[in-house]
Amino acid sequence: MNEIKIFSPATVANVACGFDVLGFCLDSVGDEMVIRKTDKKGIFITKIEGGFDLPYQAELNVAGVSALALYEAAKPDCGFEIEINKKIKPGSGIGSSAASAVGSVFGMNELLGRPFNKTQLTEFAIKGEALASKCEHADNLAPALFGGFTLVKSISPLEILEIPSPDDLYVTIIHPQIEIKTSEARAILPKEVPLIDAITQWANFGSLIHALHTGDFGLIQRSLNDVIVEPYRSQLIPHYNKVKTEALKAGALGAGISGSGPSIFSLSKGIENAKNVKDAMKKVYSNTEIDFDIHVSKINNKGVKIIY
């Protein structure tokens, strides 16, 4: 096998009470990438589709940097061309850079006969992700690689836990087309938080993990609360509270900021609820000047996958 085409999915990080550690994988939104072995050694980005102004030089490209990390570890007797069909908008808050970083290493690993496991692939992808977000984190990478819900227990050493989730869990996600700088989303967070709020957060987070294990939708609903980050970051997203309120009224189990925003995710039991939530969220932004994309997706339990 000399060429592989893969689907590298969008992901939601943080998931309300799981700030910086929890994430899940989407099914219907993702980048497509072609990875091809070449005789010439090195990593070569040969095509970027999607209309975004992204660099071709491997050292400056997220997919290139993660590819180089794997390449240096594997020292293969070949090189690789990478074509990126970028379908996830950079800056949307649904793991655009993570999808690129994951796609290249997943594809190369397949072409090399899978010398690395998924945790090792995450280690390589972290290098690419760090190029985009200026820090090493894996809360989008882990769900993109492993699928489903993942808990990044620690970065050093890297430990990723796969959390089961009920079959009938659907996501509605809206991307208002505004720009939030990651630096701004980070600067707005306090360095210290009240202990009493931190306790509420881990009570909710522990409850959410329990609820995902037991498939208890009522408890998922009661656990999807973020008392630490949402009060700050939601200020950066116009109409956030209205979107969330309408999503809940329409039957969502919960809603929150996807990653550092501006996308807003909600979780629902069953596709019908998720569609109703879609209509409700859509309606809020339709009444404004803000353009948006909106998607309904099942939780993707496989993560990144081979198209051919």
Active site residues: 129, 182
User: What single DSSP character describes residue 52?
Assistant: -
| 204 contacts a second copy (rule: CB under 8 A) | yes
| 39 contacts a second copy (rule: CB under 8 A) | no
Nearer to a second copy, 174 or 220 (CB): 220
| 207 contacts a second copy (rule: CB under 8 A) | yes
Q: Shortest gap between Cβ of 10 and a second copy (angstroms)?
A: 23
CA distance 290 to 285: 6
Q: Which of residues 108-147 bind a second copy (CB under 8 A)?
A: none
Q: Which position among 54, 73, 158, 161 is part of the footprint of a second copy (CB under 8 A)?
A: 161
CA distance 187 to 294: 27
Nearer to a second copy, 83 or 226 (CB): 226
Contacts of 192 (CB under 8 A, 6+ apart): none
CA 77 to chain centre: 32
Q: Which stretch binds a second copy (CB under 8 A): 16-24, 85-93, 94-102, 104-112?
A: 16-24
| 158 contacts a second copy (rule: CB under 8 A) | no
Nearer to a second copy, 24 or 205 (CB): 205
Residues 165-194: x where in contact with a second copy by CB under 8 A, - otherwise, as a string: ------------------------xxxxxx
Q: Which position among 29, 145, 228, 250 is part of the footprint of a second copy (CB under 8 A)?
A: 228
Phi–psi pair at 279, nearest 5 degrees: -60, -40
Q: Shortest gap between Cβ of 182 and a second copy (angstroms)?
A: 16
Phi–psi pair at 218, nearest 5 degrees: -60, -40
Q: Shortest gap between Cβ of 180 and a second copy (angstroms)?
A: 19
Q: Which position among 205, 265, 285, 292 is part of the footprint of a second copy (CB under 8 A)?
A: 205
Nearer to a second copy, 141 or 208 (CB): 208
Residues in binding contact with a second copy, number by CB under 8 A: 37
| 202 contacts a second copy (rule: CB under 8 A) | yes
Q: Is the dihedral angle over the CA atoms 121, 126, 132, 137 positive or is it negative?
A: positive
Q: Which stretch binds a second copy (CB under 8 A): 23-31, 89-97, 110-118, 209-217?
A: 209-217
Q: Shortest gap between Cβ of 213 and a second copy (angstroms)?
A: 5
Residue that the structure tokens 């977000």 belong to: 133
DSSP calls for 127-191: HHHHHHHSS---TTHHHHHH-SEEEEEEETTEEEEEE---TTEEEEEEEES----HHHHHHTS-S
214-222, long-range: CB within 8 Å, 24+ apart, which pairs? 215/165, 215/166, 217/166, 217/253, 217/269, 220/169, 220/253, 220/254, 220/267, 221/253, 221/254
Residue that the structure tokens 């379908």 belong to: 87
Judged by the rule CB under 8 A, the positions of this chain that interact with a second copy are: 17-22, 151-154, 159, 161, 163, 189-195, 198-199, 201-210, 213, 219, 222-223, 228
